[in-house]
Amino acid sequence: MSQVSVCVYCGSRDGKDPAYGAAAEALGQGLAARGWRLVYGAGDVGLMGRVARAAQAAGGETFGVIPTHLVDLEVGKTDLTRFVITETMHERKKVMLMNADAVVLLPGGAGSLDEFFEAVTWRQLGLHNKPILAINTGGYWDPLMDLMRHVVDQGFADMSTVEMVTLVPDADAAFSALEGLLNGS
């Protein structure tokens, strides 16, 4: 297999729990340790900045994608291995997902949820078959999974939609799951 690229969706803020930042840093370090490339939103703030700086500090390759209107707001991190500026948010999401072999969701807000649900929807529609993982730091994503099961219970999706998401407690579990999923086991 050629170099693995992992798209990480996460907050442009740190959040209230220091465990969120620690999870982002562990993910960035772990990607670099495996020789895997980080694909992310190119911000240098919040969890985005933490995952990228951790990957860089550990010698990892980084691929950041940011739309023109967010370069200043998210403090575009221009010292990445590859830095791409897009016209729109939609283009950003497409470039990120198409340049990745898997998706990992860390804690985040509306933007992270938008990216996550687009990846789930595209997989549901058969546009990709990439693994989608959510790192459930401190139970952060429990309400999301409850909502997804509610959508199924109410008849708006099949259980296969929920099963597209692998919920893991931390970065180590994410890497174990990804190694199995990317190797077809």
User: What sections of 16-45 are H helices per DSSP?
Assistant: 18-33
What pLDDT score was predicted for residue 64?
96
What pLDDT score was predicted for residue 63?
97
What pLDDT score was predicted for residue 73?
72
What pLDDT score was predicted for residue 185?
55
Per the structure, the complete domain to which residue 145 belongs is given by 5-182
Number of C-beta neighbours around residue 167 at 10 A: 17
Q: What is the pTM of this model?
A: 0.95
How far is the C-alpha of 142 from the C-alpha of 130, rounded, in Å?
22
What pLDDT score was predicted for residue 133?
98
**Chunked in runs of 10, what are the mean pLDDT values of the chain (185 residues)?**
90 97 98 98 96 98 94 82 94 96 98 97 96 98 98 97 98 96 79
How far is the C-alpha of 44 from the C-alpha of 83, rounded, in Å?
12
Radius of gyration of the chain (CA): 15
Q: Please state the domain count of the chain.
A: 1
Per-residue pLDDT tens for 18-34? Answer: 999 999 999 999 999 99
Per-residue pLDDT tens for 115-151? Answer: 999 999 999 999 999 999 999 999 999 999 999 999 9
Number of C-beta neighbours around residue 113 at 10 A: 13
What pLDDT score was predicted for residue 85?
93
Residue 81 sits in a domain whose CATH number is 3.40.50.450
**Token reading at 77:** 């991190």
- With a pLDDT cut of 70, the percent of the chain lying above it is 98
What pLDDT score was predicted for residue 166?
98
Contact (Cβ atoms closer than 8 angstroms) between residue 55 and residue 26: no
